Amino acid sequence: MRGTIKISTVAVSALALALSAGCGTAPNAPSAGGDTKPADVLALLASDVTGSVHKVAEVTKNTRSMRLTMEARFDGVATKAEGVIAYGDPMKAELTMDMPDGKMTVRLIGAVEYIQIPATDRGGLDGKKWMKLDLTELAKQAGGGDAIRQFQDMDPGKQVRLLLAGGTLKAVGEEQVEGARTMHYTGTAPIDTYLKQLDVKVQPEVKKQLGAMGAAEMTVDLWVDENYQPRRVRSVAGRTESTVTYSDFGTPVSVTAPPAAETADFSDMLKGLKLPTGK
């Protein structure tokens, strides 16, 4: 069970960072200045830094879905992932993650997460292939519920708005991201400024966690293409960092729950157990 809980923690953290850094929009996003693109959008992106990033924030409000690849490190634990995310009601995501024991698939449907159980760990679970976690219920029963709620409270534009709120935003220059011309921006913001982007109920515990990892501020690097779509976001806070690259904005996303016969419910495993509250 401990191995399963550890895998869950890493998976939730990966989803949290992916969602917090994620940005995208449906195809045919409007450009700054109306429907007509300037002759060289990147020149405008460089000359009007604040106005352009405000436009990026506006565009991200139209986010529907995208494909992503991610490389992240959470307090010394490295992971890679690729998959799709769809923002809607409910939010859905599916990521294939590279873990120390091999690849693992994580599915998210609303507040329910499904984690693929490594074949070597299925012996005590009647051979079932998936672990179901009701994140809302888990938050009530165990410490760290704030981290579970964190990714649900995040929208795709928060890292962009964090750049604007930090007051240190600047353009680095034109760079290629997987063949696309982009403008690279960078900036930093105090952790308290970052926390204001989160639900007020989770702020104290998230602040505590980030402080324990040596995070006094958050650095965000953002690469924006000619459609004002973020193509890559890098976030660093203490010993936590992630780089997420986005493509296929508006791509159809279908995420379904695994068959019930192949799924073990984590809440059933917790019955009769008294878990620490973290207080």
pLDDT of residue 199: 67
Residue 277 lies in a domain: no
Q: Are 114 and 258 in contact (CB under 8 A)?
A: yes
Strands of 130-134's sheet in order across = 170-177, 180-190, 217-225, 230-237, 240-247, 65-74, 77-86, 92-99, 102-109, 112-116, 130-134, 263-265
How far is residue 159's CA from residue 193's CA, in Å, rounded to a whole number? Answer: 11
How far is residue 34's CA from residue 279's CA, in Å, rounded to a whole number? Answer: 52
* Structural domains of the chain, count: 1
Residue 76 lies in a domain: yes
Give per-residue burial for 50-81: e unless 16+ CB within 10 Å, then b. eebbbbbbbbbebbbbbbbbbbbebeebebeb
Residue 275 lies in a domain: no
Residue 279 lies in a domain: no
- Per the structure, the complete domain to which residue 228 belongs is given by 2-270
User: For residue range 157-191, what is the model confidence (pLDDT) as tens digits?
Assistant: 677 888 888 889 999 999 999 999 999 999 999 98
**Dihedral (Cα; 139, 142, 147, 149), 10-degree rounding:** 0
Residue 264 lies in a domain: yes
Residue 108 lies in a domain: yes
pLDDT of residue 27: 35
pLDDT of residue 210: 81
Residue 265 lies in a domain: yes
pLDDT of residue 130: 95
Residue 116 lies in a domain: yes
What CATH number corresponds to the domain at position 135? 2.50.20.20
pLDDT of residue 91: 84
Judged against a pLDDT cut of 50, whether residue 100 lies above it is answered with yes
Structure tokens at 153: 């409270």
Judged against a pLDDT cut of 70, whether residue 275 lies above it is answered with no
The mean pLDDT of the chain is 77
